[in-house]
């Protein structure tokens, strides 16, 4: 009997030696020969991240589909569940820790701005099965009928905007706020990094902790935030303080014009990039739009990979194991995309994540390119498909959500939304006066 364990072509990024070292370091190497050795269970969990619509036995069938002529075990659902319990959470977390990072080289386009690695922090939630164990850990969120929906696990991540790779991620109950979880990401920040955040992340303690690592910040401020004017720059921005942190406040009016109409909004940004000559205000305002790359990363995780499904696991340890496997698979796909984009000299923004995912699934089912040659091809089949199906250079587009039918009181009638995309033009007007500022000291 052969115990298979691979990730198709992605095995070159997660090689056998890496998995074995992680298992040894966590003390999870099996004590005796089993039909499902620890290494195989790791690859099974990673493969499950590629096939989120299937149960573990369905994933197993795809894992062994390309092993024609070999005798392979046919584990039961119970055997897989017990093997996952023996493995535990630690090996998947350690594997994610090994692979997380920007994945960008010196030639990778679109990853840095003025020698700073552009990153973003934000949070999201995922649905988990409504079991007593999961509910006991996560609780249930309130609704019209007191308790509603599935339990939610909250995920907070630090993402490199240029490659959409994950630098770090943490998770916990939804009752923990995004800024609370974000403090656990601070050790992964440092000198040479710019961290973007929305209005939720403008709290003084978090900003002080981030800048204490040597990283710079660029966050949006709430409209009622008082910011004293210490010095006004020629471009209309001014030096101020948030707690004891010196920041530069930039106020602007952003207008988006499309064939569907015009919309204007006032943005107030605070940054530790206080040199107005080295860091022009107009460029900083445009750069802040990169914060949405983390939203795109979450979309790829929750919609493209998960398909908006509920996670599989029935217990908190199983959920943690599954989330680390999902994050690892996402990261591995992003590494493969970045390798191919850098080899071709194109911006990773033009790479289709969906193309990479579907090609990786095909390669796993075929058990193709599991063993690499002495010369490593950074592009490979996955990268080749991505490069053959490059997206056009990114243009400014907006997708106003127009309700086509009012939300019915009946649960089976869903809200329909028009997601028509419009070409847009952006107009930025720097404001020299800020009505929310307090008088100069």
Question: Tokens standing for 277?
Answer: 């000559």
Using the structure block, give the residue that is written with the tokens 């006991």: 136
d(CA 182, CA 189): 11
**Contact assessment for residue 98 and residue 78, using Cβ atoms and an 8 Å cutoff:** no
Using the structure block, give the residue that is written with the tokens 């093997």: 83
Fold of 100-299: Transposase Inhibitor Protein From Tn5; Chain A, domain 1 (3.90.350)
Q: What is the mean pLDDT of the chain?
A: 88
Q: Supply the pLDDT for residue 1.
A: 42
Of residues 201 and 261, the one with the higher pLDDT is: 201
Which pLDDT tens digit goes with each residue over 47-61? 999 999 999 999 999
d(CA 277, CA 97): 38
Q: Supply the pLDDT for residue 68.
A: 76
The pTM for the full model equals 0.90
DSSP code for 9: B
- Would you place residue 109 in the very low, low, confident or very high pLDDT band (cuts 50, 70, 90)? confident
Sign of CA dihedral 85, 89, 91, 95: positive
d(CA 286, CA 254): 10
Which pLDDT tens digit goes with each residue over 26-52? 999 987 777 889 999 999 999 999 999
> Cα 339 from chain centroid?
18
**Weakest-pLDDT range from 90-94, 249-253, 256-260:** 256-260
Q: Which residues of the chain does CATH 3.90.350.10 include?
A: 100-299
**Weakest-pLDDT range from 103-117, 236-250, 297-311, 409-423:** 409-423
Question: Tokens standing for 344?
Answer: 């071709």
Helix, strand, coil % over all residues of the chain, rounded to 5:
35, 20, 40
**Weakest-pLDDT range from 64-78, 174-188, 307-321, 337-351:** 64-78
Of 55, 46, 60, whose CA–CA distance to 3 is shortest? 60
- Inform me whether the pLDDT recorded for 374 exceeds 90: no
- Inform me whether the pLDDT recorded for 435 exceeds 60: no
- Rounded mean pLDDT of 285-294? 94
- Inform me whether the pLDDT recorded for 79 exceeds 70: yes
pLDDT above 70 coverage of the chain, percent: 87
pLDDT above 90 coverage of the chain, percent: 71
Q: Supply the pLDDT for residue 441.
A: 43
Question: How many alpha carbons fall within 13 Å on the CB side of residue 383?
Answer: 25
Which pLDDT tens digit goes with each residue over 139-168? 987 655 556 689 999 999 999 999 999 999
Question: Tokens standing for 317?
Answer: 């340890």
Which pLDDT tens digit goes with each residue over 179-197? 999 999 999 999 999 999 9
In degrees, rounded to 5, the angle at the alpha carbon of residue 281 between the alpha carbons of residues 279 and 285 is 110
- Inform me whether the pLDDT recorded for 288 exceeds 90: yes
- Rounded mean pLDDT of 118-131? 96
- Rounded mean pLDDT of 245-254? 93
- Rounded mean pLDDT of 275-279? 96
- Rounded mean pLDDT of 241-257? 91
- Inform me whether the pLDDT recorded for 170 exceeds 90: yes
- Inform me whether the pLDDT recorded for 129 exceeds 90: yes
């Amino acid at each position: 009997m052969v115990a298979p364990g691979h990730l198709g072509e992605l095995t070159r990024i997660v090689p056998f030696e890496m998995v074995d070292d992680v298992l040894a370091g966590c003390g999870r190497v099996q004590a005796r020969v089993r039909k499902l050795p620890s290494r195989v269970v790791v690859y099974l969990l990673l493969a499950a991240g590629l096939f989120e619509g299937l149960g573990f036995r369905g994933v197993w069938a795809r894992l062994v589909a390309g092993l024609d002529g070999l005798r392979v075990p046919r584990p039961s659902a119970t055997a897989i569940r017990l093997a996952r319990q023996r493995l535990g959470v630690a090996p998947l977390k350690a594997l994610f820790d090994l692979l997380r990072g920007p994945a960008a080289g010196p030639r990778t386009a679109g990853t840095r701005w003025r020698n700073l690695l552009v990153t973003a922090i934000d949070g999201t939630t995922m649905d988990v099965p409504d079991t007593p164990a999961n509910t006991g850990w996560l609780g249930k969120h309130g609704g019209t009928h007191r308790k509603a929906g599935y339990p939610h696990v909250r995920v907070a991540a630090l993402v490199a905007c240029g490659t959409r790779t994950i630098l770090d991620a943490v998770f916990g109950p939804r009752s923990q706020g995004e800024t609370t979880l974000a403090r656990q990401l601070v050790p992964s920040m440092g000198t040479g990094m710019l961290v973007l955040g929305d209005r939720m992340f403008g709290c003084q303690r978090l900003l002080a902790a981030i800048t204490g690592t040597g990283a710079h910040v660029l966050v949006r401020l709430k409209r009622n935030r008082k910011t004293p004017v210490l010095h006004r720059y020629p471009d209309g921005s001014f030096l101020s303080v948030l707690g004891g942190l010196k920041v530069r406040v930039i106020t602007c009016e952003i207008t988006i014009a499309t064939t569907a109409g015009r919309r204007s909004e006032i943005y107030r940004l605070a940054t530790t990039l206080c040199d107005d000559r080295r860091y022009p205000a107009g460029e900083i305002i445009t750069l802040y739009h990169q914060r949405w790359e983390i939203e795109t990363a979450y979309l790829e995780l929750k919609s493209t990979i998960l398909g908006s499904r509920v996670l599989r696991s029935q217990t908190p340890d199983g959920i943690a194991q599954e989330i680390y496997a999902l994050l690892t698979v996402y990261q591995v796909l992003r590494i493969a995309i970045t390798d191919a984009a850098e080899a071709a000299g194109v911006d990773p923004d033009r790479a289709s994540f969906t193309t990479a995912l579907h090609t990786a699934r095909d390669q796993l089912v075929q058990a193709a390119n599991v063993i690499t040659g002495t010369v490593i091809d950074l592009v490979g089949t996955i990268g080749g498909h991505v490069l053959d199906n490059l997206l056009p250079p990114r243009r400014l587009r907006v997708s106003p959500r127009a309700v086509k039918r009012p939300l019915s009181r009946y649960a089976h009638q869903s809200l329909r939304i028009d997601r028509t995309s419009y070409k847009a033009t952006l107009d930025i007007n720097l404001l020299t006066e800020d009505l929310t500022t307090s008088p100069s000291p």
